[in-house]
Amino acid sequence: MTPFTTKTLEEALTAKLMLNFGRAPEEATDQEMMKASALVLRDVMAMRGVETNKRTRREHRKQVHYLSLEFLMGRSLMKNAYNLEVLPQLKEALEHMGFKAADIFEIEPDAGLGNGGLGRLAACYLDSMTTLDIPATGYSICYELGIFKQKIVEGQQVELPDDWKGLGSAWLLPRTEEAEEVYFGGTLREFWNDGHLHIVNENATKVLAVPCDMVVAGYGTDHVNTLRLWDARSTKPVDMSLFSRGEYLKAAEEEAMAETIAKVLYPEDNHYEGKSLRLKQQYFFVSATVQSIARKHLETYGTLKNFHEKNVIQINDTHPALVVPELMRIFIDEAGMNWDEAWEITTRSVAYTNHTVLAEALERWPQNLVESLLPRIWQIIVEISRRWQEKVENFYHDPGKTRAMAIVWSGEVRMANLCIAGGMAVNGVSGLHSDILKKDVFRDACGMEPWKFQNVTNGIDHRRWLSEINPGLDSLIRDLTGGDDYLTHPLALKKLDDYAGDKAVLARLAEIKRQNKESFAAYAKKTRGVLLNPDAIFDVQVKRLHEYKRQLLNVLHIIALYQRLQDDPNAVTQPHTFLFGAKAAPGYAVAKRIIRLINSLADEIDHNPICKDKLQVVFLENYRVSLAERLMPASEVSQQISTAGKEASGTGNMKFMMNGALTIGTLDGANVEMHGVLGDENMFLFGLHADEVTQLKREGYVPQRLYSRDDTLRRCLDALRGGFRDGVAYDDLYQRLLFGAGGSPADEYLLLADFQAYCQAEERMAATYTDVEQWNRMSLRNIARSGIFAADRAVAEYADNIWHVPHK
């Protein structure tokens, strides 16, 4: 299976350097070497891809198409080398050729084609689908600029463009011969021919979608899959002769559209942006993808009538919801099917994963935008909506339910309802989240079609998030479980539980964590000039900045701790370092204020001698996959403190758990399932439950009462209001918590309601930390029981219960 020895790999790298860059190894730069390494591995994977595709076609295997406007891939060199089982050989070859392997890996830019959890999930699933030998293709947009790079300047976030394709494009294979044309605008002309009504779109603005394929290897298999990233080009070069024919403006329009569509990833996480460019991106992506799938299907089967038997389209949130009308368009307008037949095939092909219950994240496109930009798609949506409404009326005879379930309603197209109507399955991403969908958000739809609603709890690629990034822990696991079986059978981690009473094992686990903390401290010093004390608790909250994730609650507790320390310098004996990492959407003003607050507080604490070797706050700039990979192995406390009912699943929580950090968390998202396997005794649970949150809001929540009643809280909020030594005041945040602002209610996310419980959980945690053996035992149990959070498990559930495809 191993495609290279160190020697043959060295030869391949040397040849690649000469052929592509005209360089001998001793003249090559690190950049050239990184590219050469990528190209050599890409060649192996591309060859395996030919075999995989042949087999899929020959055996008429059903294919999975995973559509996501985000794929947060991160780096690929180490990952692909790992999966191809040539990582040791690659490192050795690089060193032997006079390079530092670590530098070559470090120089690769992250492919940051996503915002956070949703995009990273797609990347983890692509790895698992491949490892499980499922014929699968991921589809997204080849954004020229990924998620912005974050700099912190004077405490504030500054966004810089993430121009990743210079080196990152080494993984991409452009396939101009498989380009598709996507139509926007224009007018519809209808005519009868052969007893059929034909509809053609005239004077449309056409954009060419060119696939740039990224091949991905699985682990322990020759099977490879493809991530197909669509790039936008204009259909023709602007031709001056068009000018005389009055078509110059059209051509210029096409060129302008082609230049903007794949330009940049929208940086809003868990938030709907009703911009027309975003809708253009969505349709560009969906239309190119569906055409490409249909074309390949036709090549193999000569008909689209068995489309649903050989294809399943999984859509990651509603962003690709237009697959439903686009499939209908192709079945009806291009394949000549009637409505009922087209609908039957469509609704047996599409499945929808919901990722959020936040109202502000639910996509609702203005009808007139859809109508003018996508006239034919609009017609089809109207008809889908009409028939769906009829069905709902006949089932419920209840205008309230008709309104709740409508697809087109009061001038808007509701994408979630379109997905529910047009799909065969709807799944939430954790037990709690799926229950909320069934009982609350989609209650009426579930009442009518209960069989559609399912749960698939998220999972993470444990090979990347444990084995690859935490070699110390990997080798302990191999020693204790008797080999590397856990790499393909993650539940084998359970065997670690047998060593909970083994002091030598616990000591070794502690030593691994210690080493990882020191490595991270060295990295932070080298790259940021930050001095981290490896004796301190590494207490970490890294994730997108969002009010519902409650970074501000973490801050309030730190302020309380800081005040306690000022009253009594001996109040803290165990050094405690709080690490934050978070990007805020550029237009999300409150989130940016919270980033600034964290930096103000960090600066305050840094300058107070009382805090030395006791308390530290660090904001790590530009949180991204490659930073997470360094941080997870070094983390000891994982902050998962969202308002119960708001976090669909979380996957950061799983990364921490797998690397032995203990969780302080609410009963939200997948924390509920973590608690299910860990029990109260192996995590620090606190706060209101989801139903209590609903109840409290119904009764009328008045945070001012807590403010007047609780001295610690009041003092803490007053300090926040006045600000710290940098002179920046945070009255705005104070006002939001106590009185509400800009239409949002006072303390919308119940920070004050959970404050005391949170402080107590932090105290329990700090007390446990001093009992070193107990801490290490809990850490071991967390690792032992993290196997259920492997993406392999989640993907197997999709394959069994939704896709109905066989897998390894």
Ligand X SMILES: *Cc1c(COP(=O)(O)O)cnc(C)c1O
Q: How far apart are CA 233 and CA 255, in angstroms?
A: 7
Joined tokens for residue 275 = 């911009």
Residues 6+ apart with CB under 8 A from 143: 113, 262, 263, 264, 265
Q: How far is the CB of 262 from ligand X (least distance, A)?
A: 22
**Minimum CB distance to ligand X smaller for 211 or for 652:** 652
Rg of the chain on CA atoms, in Å:
27
Q: How far is the CB of 149 from ligand X (least distance, A)?
A: 13
Q: Is 549 a catalytic residue?
A: yes
| Region 103-142 residues binding ligand X, contact defined as CB under 6 A | 116-117, 120
| Region 625-644 residues binding ligand X, contact defined as CB under 6 A | 625, 628
The angle at the Cα of 312, spanning 384 to 786, to the nearest 5 degrees, equals 120
Q: Is 550 a catalytic residue?
A: no
* Cβ–Cβ < 8 Å for 781, 451: no
**Minimum CB distance to ligand X smaller for 150 or for 417:** 150
Q: Is 770 a catalytic residue?
A: no
Q: Is 808 a catalytic residue?
A: no
**Other residues' Cβ atoms within 10 Å of the Cβ of residue 254:** 21
**Minimum CB distance to ligand X smaller for 9 or for 126:** 126
CA torsion angle 797 799 800 801 (round to 10): 70
Tokens 């940021």 correspond to: 528
Q: 3-state secondary structure string, 521-545?
A: HHHHHHHHCCCCCCCCEEEEEECCC
Q: How far is the CB of 749 from ligand X (least distance, A)?
A: 15
Joined tokens for residue 185 = 């605008």
Tokens 């109040």 correspond to: 571
Catalytic residue among 549, 583, 596, 736: 549
- Part of the chain binding ligand X (CB under 6 A), chosen from 290-298, 309-317, 623-631, 774-782: 623-631
**Minimum CB distance to ligand X smaller for 651 or for 663:** 651
What are the Cα distances from residue 806, in Å, to 49, 120, 132? Answer: 19, 24, 9
- Part of the chain binding ligand X (CB under 6 A), chosen from 4-12, 53-61, 477-485, 648-656: 648-656
**Minimum CB distance to ligand X smaller for 257 or for 672:** 672
Q: How far out from the chain centre does Cα 187 lie?
A: 38
Catalytic residue among 14, 205, 651, 666: 651
Joined tokens for residue 775 = 């801490």
**Minimum CB distance to ligand X smaller for 152 or for 408:** 152
Q: Is 651 a catalytic residue?
A: yes
Residue 652 binding ligand X, by CB under 6 A: yes
The alpha helices in 262-305, defined as continuous H runs, are: 276-301
Q: How far is the CB of 440 from ligand X (least distance, A)?
A: 22
Q: What is the per-residue binding string for ligand X in 69-88, x denoting contact by CB under 6 A?
A: --------------------
Q: Using alpha carbons, select from 593, 564, 599 the residue that is nearest to residue 579.
A: 599
Q: What is the per-residue binding string for ligand X in 656-685, x denoting contact by CB under 6 A?
A: ------------------------------
* Cβ–Cβ < 8 Å for 678, 662: no
Given candidates 650, 660, 703, 723, which one binds ligand X under the rule CB under 6 A? 650
Given candidates 624, 646, 736, 785, which one binds ligand X under the rule CB under 6 A? 624
Residue 459 binding ligand X, by CB under 6 A: no
Length of the chain as a residue count = 808
Q: How far is the CB of 623 from ligand X (least distance, A)?
A: 6
**Minimum CB distance to ligand X smaller for 641 or for 784:** 641
**Minimum CB distance to ligand X smaller for 16 or for 543:** 543
Q: How far is the CB of 288 from ligand X (least distance, A)?
A: 27
Q: Using alpha carbons, select from 599, 578, 568, 557 the residue that is nearest to residue 715.
A: 557
Catalytic residue among 452, 544, 550, 781: 544
Q: Is 697 a catalytic residue?
A: no
Residues 6+ apart with CB under 8 A from 168: 108, 109, 111
Per DSSP, the three-state class of 449 is: coil
Q: How far is the CB of 31 from ligand X (least distance, A)?
A: 24
Strand 311-316 to 149-153 pairing: unpaired
Residue 29 carries which side chain, given as an amino acid letter?
A: T
| Region 201-260 residues binding ligand X, contact defined as CB under 6 A | none
Number of chain positions touching ligand X (CB under 6 A) = 13
Closest CB to ligand X: residue number: 652
Catalytic residue among 75, 308, 355, 513: 355
**Minimum CB distance to ligand X smaller for 75 or for 543:** 543
Q: What is the per-residue binding string for ligand X in 528-547, x denoting contact by CB under 6 A?
A: ---------------xx---
Q: How far is the CB of 487 from ligand X (least distance, A)?
A: 20
Strand partners, 615: 576
Residue 490 binding ligand X, by CB under 6 A: no
Q: 3-state secondary structure string, 608-677?
A: CHHHCCCEEEEECCCCCHHHHHHHHHHCCEEEECCCCCCCCCCCHHHHHHHCCCEEEECCCCCHHHHHHH
Query: Site residues (CB under 6 A) for ligand X?
Result: 116-117, 120, 543-544, 623-625, 628, 650-652, 655
Catalytically annotated residues: 355, 543-544, 549, 651, 655
